[in-house]
Amino acid sequence: MKTRSAIPVASAALALALLAFVTPPVAAADTVDPAADARAFKKFFTDKFPKLKPEDFVNGPYSMNEDLHKQWEEKEQFPPYEFSLEAGKEMFSKPFKNGKSYQDCFPNKGIGIRQNYPYFDEKEGKVVTLELALNRCREANGEAPLSYVKDDMAALTAYMAFTSRGKPFDIKIPNDPRALEAYQKGKEYFYTRRGQLNFSCATCHVQSPGERIRAEVLAPALGILNALPIYRSEWSGMGTTSRRFTTCNSQIRGVPLDPQADEYRDLEYYLSYVSNGLPISGPGARP
Amino acid sequence: MASTIRVRATSNGDTTEVQALIQHPMDSGFVKDARGQIIPPHFIQELTFEYDGKAVFVADWGGGISKDPYVKFAFKGGKKGDDLKVSWVDNKGATDTTTAKIQ
């Protein structure tokens, strides 16, 4: 992957050369245009599922299958993530040893801001996800970081998502070549095949949403992060975005990266960006 | 710690439908943890729903019931606004109890 960084530079030069010769200018096929990507991405799914309203996509497999939808409506009367949500609410306002709490680390005291994460941090030059921001908040206040995959982290993000329910994803890509690069890398990760089964994320979540994989119904990539964190019956517990990424990687018999590795952060950036405008529906429940 | 029991009871006049969700690990005693040590059995043995001083639903459970169990049943009678008492006892002697108003 290291050698690839030379390619954009070369292609930019090529594009410039093209511009010099060709009028009217033809956009080079590999220029990064997130807005056009997101439009094309949405169009692909809305064409594939013409009956669905855009906001239905955030409910993943439940919008794809009538039986599942019925079960889900029943489940939602008594959501399995309730215990976690309650624990998260308690944790969120509980002060650390130094008297500060999570509320002091976030704009608007952390209420109703989930839809702005992940964001590109211009100081660091990297994508910062909500989970990462929560752990940095802990470390800044002298607390040990939490595990990224389950219990406490899931409870905290569940509460933050809950306070943002219904707010549309609002991911911004600042005018910074590093931000575009992060977006592009996330997109590459999403479409790159890997693992013993040679699957990319897109193999399941773009090619086959609504199809069965064994007994599960695959969710569409559009709006796939809106419902996170989720209670999965398969896990009989909660899981975060990090957990979803790592388990996806191991299910295709690849080697998962560490939670919050740069690639995962970029991937979350890409996936959230193309779902811009769809409402947050987390915490969710999945079979 | 909040109550481990979530309960909702709705009356339609002659029967009352009850749904309950209980937070409990329900370890069967046959599962090993990551280090290969057996996780000792820890499960709810008796779950009781009482209405008007009488038990309307009693479950004798063992390790075969899943974690965080969900129960749904209906019983004849039950008036809106009355109390329904739910309690469980597990094999370690721990208990929890809660009361819900029938809606």
Cβ B68–A82 below 8 Å, yes or no?
A: no
Range with the poorest average pLDDT among A30-34, A208-212, B5-9, B78-82: A30-34
- A:132-151 residues touching chain B, CB 8 A cutoff: none
> H or E element: which one contains A249?
helix A241-251
pLDDT at A151: 83
Q: Which residues contact B69 (CB under 8 A, 6 or more apart)?
A: B21, B22, B24, B26, B44, B61
Both tokens of A147, joined, read: 């595990």
Q: Please say whether the beta carbons of B69 and B7 come within 8 A.
A: no
Q: Which of A4-8, A63-67, A238-242 has the highest mean pLDDT?
A: A238-242
- A282 band by pLDDT with thresholds 50, 70 and 90: confident
pLDDT higher than threshold 70 for residue A6 = no
Please judge whether A77 and B23 are an interchain contact, meaning their C-beta atoms are less than 8 angstroms apart: no
How close does chain B come to A78, measured CA to CA in Å? 7
How would you label A78-90 residue by residue, b for 16+ Cβ within 10 Å and e otherwise?
ebbbbbbbbbbbe
Distant-in-sequence, close-in-space partners of A188: CB < 8 Å, separation ≥ 6? none
Determine the Cα–Cα distance for residues A187 and A178; give it in Å rounded to an integer: 14
Model confidence at B2, pLDDT cuts 50, 70, 90, reads low
Whether A248 is catalytic: yes
Q: Which residues of A fall within a CB distance of 8 Å from B3?
A: none
Say yes or no to pLDDT of A2 above 60: no
pLDDT tens column, B7-52 = 989 998 889 999 998 989 999 999 998 899 999 999 999 999 999 8
Could you tell me the strand order of the sheet in which B83-90 lies? B54-60, B44-51, B83-90, B95-101
Set of chain B residues whose Cβ sits within 8 Å of the Cβ of A83 = 23, 68
Contacts of B70 in chain A (CB under 8 A): 78
Would you list which residues of chain B are within 8 Å, Cβ to Cβ, of chain A? 2, 6, 8, 19, 21, 23, 66-68, 70
Flag whether pLDDT at A15 surpasses 60: no
Band of the pLDDT at A29, cuts 50, 70, 90?
A: low
Chain B positions touching A236 (Cβ under 8 A) are 66-68
State the pLDDT confidence band at A78, using cuts at 50, 70 and 90: confident
**Helix, strand and coil percent figures for chain B, each rounded to 5:** 0, 55, 45
CA-CA distance, A90 to A211, in Å (whole number)?
Answer: 39
Any idea how long chain B is?
A: 103
Q: Do A236 and B66 touch (CB under 8 A)?
A: yes
Report how far Cα A35 is from the mean position of its chain's Cα atoms: 17
Q: Which helix (H) or strand (E) holds A239?
A: strand A237-239
pLDDT tens across A193-235, in order? 999 999 999 999 999 998 988 888 899 999 999 998 999 888 8
- Which two three-digit tokens encode residue A217? 């119904």
SS3 assignment, position A108: helix
pLDDT given at position A75 = 81
Q: Give the whole-angstrom CA distance, residue A129 versus residue A245.
A: 13
* DSSP at A64: T
Tell me the pairing of strands B5-11 and B15-22: antiparallel
Whether pLDDT at A22 is above 50: no
Would the CB atoms of B67 and A236 count as touching at under 8 Å? Answer: yes
Interface membership of A122 toward B (CB under 8 Å): no
Q: Which residues of B touch A77 (CB under 8 A)?
A: 8, 19
d(CA A264, CA A258) in angstroms, rounded, equals 9
Closest CA in chain A for residue B72: A78
Question: Taking CB atoms and an 8 Å limit, are A77 and B8 in contact across chains?
Answer: yes
Please report the pLDDT score of residue A79 as a whole number: 86
pLDDT higher than threshold 80 for residue A12 = no
pLDDT at B97 over 70: yes
Q: Do A78 and B6 touch (CB under 8 A)?
A: yes
What percent of chain B shows pLDDT beyond 70?
98
With contact defined as beta carbons under 8 Å apart, do A132 and A265 qualify?
A: yes
Which member of B19, B66, B67 has the closest CB to residue A78? B19
Say how far apart CA A253 and CA B52 lie, in whole Å.
Answer: 56
Asked if A77 lies within 8 A of B19 by C-beta distance, the reply is yes
3-state secondary structure A130-158: HHHHHHHHHHHCCCCCCCCCCHHHHHHHH
Pseudo-torsion of CA B65, B71, B72, B77, nearest 10°? 120
